Structure 1
Amino acid sequence: MVKFSEQVHRDTKKLWQKSFDHPFIKEMVTGELPEDKFKFYVIQDYHYLKVFDQLHLKLAQQLPGPQRQVVEDYMQNLTVDELEARNHTFQKLGISQDEWAQTPLAPANYNYLNHMRHSLATSPAVGLASFLPCPWLYVELATHWQHANSPVEVYDDFFQTYEEAAQDKSTVPMIELMDQLATQADLKERATMARAFVRSSYYELQFWQMAYHQQQW
């Protein structure tokens, strides 16, 4: 039987490829991306990571001991490092905490976060399926562009952050947990998990688009 993770990974292959090839990423690699677009991305991503962290804490609270520990270990090892990396990027770009706090969520970010909130409210399994495209896609993004060396230091740091995450394999236990929850789910919940995963993959692509066009309400 095909693992659930293999199924949804196959189903979202074309969407993920569009993320790998998005102009935002390609222009980071070449150094042509205007800094204001990257600043827009970083601020929105920081908003996203704050909620992402909170949602994982809520997910952990809904799981039994061993499964809860997988989520808690993941959060300790990855999200804290990402938030610290974003703070370092803020300093390099001259972004103050006041500027971040006063910047509202862009439409695509707002929709993505609400999608994950709704997914977690449906069930822990559906919630996890909606969370995983973000870190898993970034791991593959880092692998896809592993030989890229942007001439812009802050962009090069961005790729190195995710390359380090890819090397430490921190996403693997979470993928395994999703497969475990999928085997425990009935057909209806499993289908809902798959939809949540695909929709998050769509929102990942929209996140690049949002930043590239500095989307406003």
Structure 2
Amino acid sequence: MTDVRTSTSGLLWAGSEDLYAAVLEHPFLAGLTDGTLPRDAFRHYVVQDTHYLRGYARALRALAARAPDEPSAAMFAEHAVGAVAVEQGLHEEFLDDLDGAPVDAVPPGPTTRAYVDHLLTAVHTGSWAEGVAAVLPCYWVYREVGRELLPRSSPDPLYARWVAAYGGDDFSAVVDAVLDLTDRLAPGPREQALMESAFRTSTRYEWMFWDASWRLEGWPL
């Protein structure tokens, strides 16, 4: 069940619940759980997610640098290191089981570039609270998707590993820490509205990211 909270984070989620419902209905995730997802779609996802996590780590480092207190700075700095660790660990495991060109031989796709640019704009030009709201869907949506898919897992061992990584307790604890921080922000009405806009845009990009891999999106020219 989705972790729907009151206060700041609850308002953010409520404003994008329709988008999360669309995420759960996407055929990419259906193919993960029933094992029918084509391998080339999953490889596209892993390669693009590797590029994305590099940009995501930059956004988290920017949040750490702008944090108003040391615990928040330390948390986002640690998570930035963790994002790189995922790239080097879990993604390398997946790529070892998939055929294709090396990651750096494939450029970031249009959706990947757009999502990263959105995050970097939010964390550098918006308020600190807006930056937190922008990076939050990557934590929260993945945790909720993992929880939703975990009981079904997948008959494909490769896809089952992906589901287990995001549906497990370790990742959930990381997400809870960011949600607790979000609920301590107590923004005013104007900043809450800006946070909701940043959160909803990032949640749209979460759907678009899976859709891009489903379509094997590339640059048209």
Q: Which residue of 1 aligns with 2:73?
A: 68
Give the drift of 1:75: 3.9
**TM-score with structure 1 setting the length:** 0.90
In structure 2, which of residues 107, 110, 114 is the aligned counterpart of residue 111 of structure 1?
114
Residues 53 and 165 (structure 1 numbering): CA distance in 2 closer, same or farther, change over 3 Å? Answer: farther
CA distance in 1, matches of 2:134, 2:35: 32
In structure 2, which of residues 198, 201, 204 is the aligned counterpart of residue 199 of structure 1?
201
CA distance in 2, matches of 1:82, 1:152: 21
Q: Which residue of 2 aligns with 1:208?
A: 210
Q: Report matched runs for 1:122-137 at 5 Å.
A: 122-137=126-141
Matched, 1:101 2:88: no
| SS of corresponding position for 1:197 | helix
CA distance in 2, matches of 1:45, 1:167: 17
CA RMSD of aligned residues (A): 1.7
Contact 2:12 2:195 in 1 (8 A): no
CA distance in 1, matches of 2:120, 2:14: 25
Q: Which runs of 5+ in 2 are unaligned?
A: 1-5
Matched, 1:160 2:164: yes
- Output the amino acid matched with 2:158: V
Matched, 1:90 2:92: no
Residues 26 and 90 (structure 1 numbering): CA distance in 2 closer, same or farther, change over 3 Å? Answer: same
Give the drift of 1:146: 1.6
Give the drift of 1:73: 3.9
Contact 1:74 1:171 in 2 (8 A): no
CA distance in 2, matches of 1:138, 1:162: 6
- Report how many residues are paired: 211
Q: Report matched runs for 1:4-83 at 5 Å.
A: 4-63=8-67, 64-76=69-81, 78-83=82-87
In structure 2, which of residues 189, 192, 201 is the aligned counterpart of residue 187 of structure 1?
189
Contact 1:133 1:197 in 2 (8 A): yes
Contact 2:165 2:171 in 1 (8 A): no
| SS of corresponding position for 1:171 | helix
CA distance in 2, matches of 1:135, 1:167: 9
Q: Which runs of 5+ in 1 are unaligned?
A: none
- Output the amino acid matched with 2:198: A
Q: Quick one: percent identity of the two aligned structures? A: 26
**TM-score with structure 2 setting the length:** 0.89
Contact 1:116 1:131 in 2 (8 A): yes
| SS of corresponding position for 1:59 | helix
- Output the amino acid matched with 1:210: A
Contact 1:143 1:166 in 2 (8 A): no
